[in-house]
Chain A
Amino acid sequence: MQIAVASGKGGTGKTTVATALVLSLARAFPPDYHIGFLDCDVEAPDAHLFLHPAFEKQQPAIILIPKVDQTLCTGCGKCVEVCQFHALARIGTRVIVFPQLCHGCGSCTINCPVNAITEEADPIGLLEAGHTDTGIDFARGTLTISEPIGNPDNPANETLEKRRPAQIVILDAPPGASCSVVETLRGCEFYPAGGRTHSLGLHDCETNDRNLARDGNSSRGHHKPGRDGNKAIDDFCKAEDLPGFAAHPFDRGIAEGTAKGQPLTQYKPGISRKVPPDF
């Protein structure tokens, strides 16, 4: 079972909820039960600040980018035409590649009529894996600074595939509703849609819910109330019949605990009771 914690906006409490969930689960299940945690927010992974894993393995995260053999290339421009990201340009009969725009989808390689394109590895980040002292199998991806995001081939992916055999995996999703979020949500059975209850977060909340629905999955709500008492996400969840399971209030104690790098379960011990019994 994979549970992703996602939201539209950043700063809504994804990592707070995800780390609290995984710690509560690790305590609730017997030690031989395999529990995993994946920090998929590759632009700014921060779950390690609360879970303190020891990393045992690391490997570079790569995407495959095209390399054009100019001696074979006929300059037909098919690769330029199929690239949705304008990572290739045809200048005269030569094709130039812009690696930072490439999403590694392989369309150019597949569509080249004379097989002039091969793919080469472009390192974009780091994958790390290890354990916490409570036995949680922890992994994360970190995107190299200056590498643009938007990659379907998010650095956390490979780790993701390897980790999914765990019996329960909590995925801490990136903010927003773009490629890396879609990739994180793929195959998830349900997710608490973390979000401040204001209309800014609502749009992405709806988008993520549609993404999940398309894969035949379901979502459940968790949220932090907006300061203005906006009920936009509440109303959305009611209208879509998404069961909410918890909300956390504005509380100075939560901010203080977070600033000290303490998980919610430590400074709000009662929170574990909010985890639904049918987990």
Chain B
Amino acid sequence: MILLISAQQSEIDSPVDDRFGRSDWFLKVNSETLEWQAFRNPGSNNRGGAGVAAAQFAADQKVDVAISGDFGPNASTALRAAGIQMILFPSGGLNGKDVVDLFRKGALEQE
């Protein structure tokens, strides 16, 4: 599965970002091969509509799962329409790698 994780920086062990639409970076990770790539969130600095822009990015990248600490109402609507599953990570010091591990163990909660 292709995961999109909101992160504060551009490395796989960067701390995750609790916000989906406003996170600076996204880590796109293949949960089977563990290949990954970092992308700037195209919507993070928008005055409005950041959630929609981020969800559009997720849809364009054809990800299966979006993982963040929180999803705003507009992002949720768009992600749901795109059939992208929303999964939450608990707050507190996790990095991208931790979140991938938790996902692979099935230890994360559905939005």
Of B47, B49, B55, B74, the most chain A CB neighbours within 10 A belong to B49
Q: Which residues of chain A are near B99, meaning CB under 8 Å?
A: none
Q: Is A90 an interface residue (CB 8 A)?
A: yes
Give A residues with C-beta under 8 Å from B: 80, 85-92, 94, 96, 98, 100-101, 148, 150
**B 42-62 binary contact with A (CB < 8 Å = 1; else 0):** 010011111011011001000
**B 11-23 binary contact with A (CB < 8 Å = 1; else 0):** 0000000000000
Q: Is B87 an interface residue (CB 8 A)?
A: no
**B49:A86 contact, CB within 8 angstroms:** yes
**B82:A86 contact, CB within 8 angstroms:** no
Query: Closest chain A residue to B49 by CB distance?
Result: A86
**B82:A101 contact, CB within 8 angstroms:** no
Q: Which residues of chain B are near A96, meaning CB under 8 Å?
A: 77-78, 81
**B52:A90 contact, CB within 8 angstroms:** no
Known: A91-B82, A94-B81. A148 touches B48 (CB 8 A): yes
**B52:A98 contact, CB within 8 angstroms:** yes
Q: Which residues of chain B are near A100, meaning CB under 8 Å?
A: 74
Known: A91-B81, A98-B77, A101-B52. A86 touches B46 (CB 8 A): yes
**B 71-91 binary contact with A (CB < 8 Å = 1; else 0):** 000100110011000000000
Known: A86-B53, A89-B52, A89-B55. A98 touches B47 (CB 8 A): no
Of A85, A87, A90, A96, the most chain B CB neighbours within 10 A belong to A96
Q: Which of B48, B77, B82 contacts A150 (CB 8 A)?
A: B48
**A101:B59 contact, CB within 8 angstroms:** no
Known: A80-B56, A90-B59. A101 touches B48 (CB 8 A): yes
Minimal beta-carbon separation of A242 from chain B (angstroms): 29
Known: A91-B78, A91-B81, A91-B82. A98 touches B59 (CB 8 A): no
Minimal beta-carbon separation of B46 from chain A (angstroms): 6
Cα A150 to Cα B49 in complex, Å, equals 12
**A98:B74 contact, CB within 8 angstroms:** yes
Known: A92-B82, A101-B48. A86 touches B43 (CB 8 A): yes
Cα A10 to Cα B77 in complex, Å, equals 34
Q: Which residues of chain A are near B59, meaning CB under 8 Å?
A: 89-92
Query: Closest chain B residue to A100 by CB distance?
Result: B74
A-B contact pairs, 17 of them (CB 8 A): A86-B48, A86-B49, A86-B50, A86-B52, A86-B53, A87-B49, A87-B52, A89-B81, A90-B59, A91-B81, A92-B59, A92-B82, A96-B78, A96-B81, A98-B77, A98-B78, A148-B48
Minimal beta-carbon separation of B26 from chain A (angstroms): 16
Cα A148 to Cα B56 in complex, Å, equals 21
Minimal beta-carbon separation of B84 from chain A (angstroms): 9
Query: Closest chain A residue to B54 by CB distance?
Result: A86
Q: 5 closest Cβ contacts across the A-B interface?
A: A86-B49, A86-B52, A91-B82, A86-B53, A89-B78
Of A80, A89, A96, the most chain B CB neighbours within 10 A belong to A89
**B56:A86 contact, CB within 8 angstroms:** yes
Q: Which of A90, A94, A101 contacts B56 (CB 8 A)?
A: A90
Q: Which residues of chain A are near B50, meaning CB under 8 Å?
A: 86
Q: Which residues of chain B are near A92, meaning CB under 8 Å?
A: 59, 82
Q: Which residues of chain A are near B43, meaning CB under 8 Å?
A: 86
Q: Which of A91, A94, A101, A150 contacts B74 (CB 8 A)?
A: A101
**A150:B47 contact, CB within 8 angstroms:** yes
Cα A38 to Cα B80 in complex, Å, equals 43
Q: Which residues of chain A are near B49, meaning CB under 8 Å?
A: 85-87, 98, 101
